[in-house]
Amino acid sequence: MYKINYNIALIGFGGVNRALVNIISINPEKFYREMGFNICIVAVSDIFLGSVYSPEGIDLDLLNELPVAKGAFASLRNGNAKADNEDIIKNSNADIIVEATVTDSVTGQAAISHCRWALANGKHVSTTNKGPLAFAEKELIDLALKNNVSFEYEGVVMSGTPVLRFADKLMKGSEINKFTGIMNGTANYVLGLVEQGQTFTDAITSAQQQGFAEADPSADVEGKDVMLKVIVLANRLWDANLTQDDVKCEGITSLSEVMIKEAVAEGQHWKLIGEASKKDDGSIIASVSPKKLDLLHPLSGINGVVNAITFTSGMLGDVTISGPGAGRTETAYAILSDIIAIHQHVNV
């Protein structure tokens, strides 16, 4: 049956899911005209704000105006000061669960459970959270297949820049055997400022002041964030089943300010590169490390918080896609693109 309305439950109501509500609410008629379907937010659950479930839909203006205050959902009709993730995911009338809670890069939880509950209960999932992909990708994809629902995660590698679908759909069959990427805007921004003469400490402080870096920037500068993205992309491209033990990881903390300035004097740029390649015997080699690129390299001119990935394919050679790798609205767009993919899946 052709479906034109999707009931959605949001798990986590921070920057990304708030931006999604904002995108949907700005002009619902235009949204329907352009997308061909309506979105109805029926539930939201957040560990800090509490939860709300209204099967007929929640007023988006109320969600847009919700203050960032502990238990704030209790002020809404049907609201509660406590999160209610499991019951909402399993028992609400949502067709799609949007998982945008914080990434736990040690265990991937609680997001893995959120995705598991949803898929096992016949609900589609869109997530922007790297955790479930880095730790349970195969299990969740198999669960989605078994239950004939979609598991979508375009936002986890390069936010709204559609790198997964670009490789997976638009370059399908072109024999991609390698990718090389700048996948962390914070590290790239910091390297750029050090090239201009700042110290690492000042450059990281500047990234924090601009809102690019977390209070604890270690995942960005030590390469862990890129490592998780390399795993997600390699597994998607080649069904590689890579885990963190398979990826050598070195961050920009191994560079000195002198090394960075010397490279510029030689017409080169240090970049934090995540890469993986598929060998003739089918094995995958993956790593994250700083690399000195000369000016002719397609990634040498990628500056600031912009991200880019070059795919090397047997038929096309190098193809590079670049764009924003973070941002609330940009990442919310990735969710929207996931919902469009779900719509296409449902209506084939």
User: Would you name the residues annotated as active-site residues?
Assistant: 229
Does residue 103 bind ligand NAP (CB under 6 A)? yes
- Nearest CB to ligand NAP, comparing residues 150 and 186: 186
Q: In the bound complex, what is the minimum distance in angstroms from residue 331's beta carbon to ligand NAP? A: 4
Contact 164, 153 (CB under 8 A): yes
Q: In the bound complex, what is the minimum distance in angstroms from residue 102's beta carbon to ligand NAP? A: 4
Q: In the bound complex, what is the minimum distance in angstroms from residue 104's beta carbon to ligand NAP? A: 8
Does residue 224 bind ligand NAP (CB under 6 A)? no
Among 46, 137, 152, 220, binds ligand NAP (CB under 6 A): 46
Q: How far apart are CA 69 and CA 220, in angstroms?
A: 28
Q: How far apart are CA 35 and CA 37, in angstroms?
A: 6
- Nearest CB to ligand NAP, comparing residues 47 and 141: 47
Contact 3, 37 (CB under 8 A): yes
As a whole number of Å, the CA-based R_g of the chain is 21
Among 6, 7, 9, 12, binds ligand NAP (CB under 6 A): 12
Token reading at 250: 């070195």
Does residue 110 bind ligand NAP (CB under 6 A)? yes
Q: How far apart are CA 177 and CA 297, in angstroms?
A: 18
Q: In the bound complex, what is the minimum distance in angstroms from residue 179's beta carbon to ligand NAP? A: 18
User: C-alpha distances in angstroms, 283 versus 231, 238, 318?
Assistant: 14, 10, 21
Among 7, 126, 129, 184, binds ligand NAP (CB under 6 A): 129
- Identify which range of 31-39, 96-104, 231-239, 250-258 contacts ligand NAP by CB under 6 A: 96-104
User: C-alpha distances in angstroms, 152 versus 90, 116, 120?
Assistant: 18, 13, 15
- Nearest CB to ligand NAP, comparing residues 126 and 312: 126
SS3 call for 124: strand
**Beta strand pairing call for 306-313 and 176-182:** antiparallel
Contact 73, 80 (CB under 8 A): yes
Token reading at 94: 């949502």
Among 23, 35, 47, 306, binds ligand NAP (CB under 6 A): 47
What's the number of CA atoms in the CB half-sphere (13 Å) around residue 206? Answer: 16
Q: What is the signed CA dihedral for 55, 61, 64, 66, rounded to 10 degrees?
A: -80
Does residue 108 bind ligand NAP (CB under 6 A)? no
- Nearest CB to ligand NAP, comparing residues 54 and 161: 161
Does residue 45 bind ligand NAP (CB under 6 A)? yes
Find the helix or strand (DSSP H, E) in which 64 lies. helix 60-65
Each residue 140-169 as x (binds ligand NAP by CB under 6 A) or -, in order, gives ---------------x---x----------
Does residue 101 bind ligand NAP (CB under 6 A)? yes
Contact 156, 232 (CB under 8 A): yes
Among 163, 326, 342, 346, binds ligand NAP (CB under 6 A): 326
- Identify which range of 195-203, 234-242, 306-314, 322-330 contacts ligand NAP by CB under 6 A: 322-330
Which residues contact ligand NAP (rule: CB under 6 A)?
11-16, 45-48, 83, 85, 100-103, 110, 128-129, 155, 159, 326-328, 331
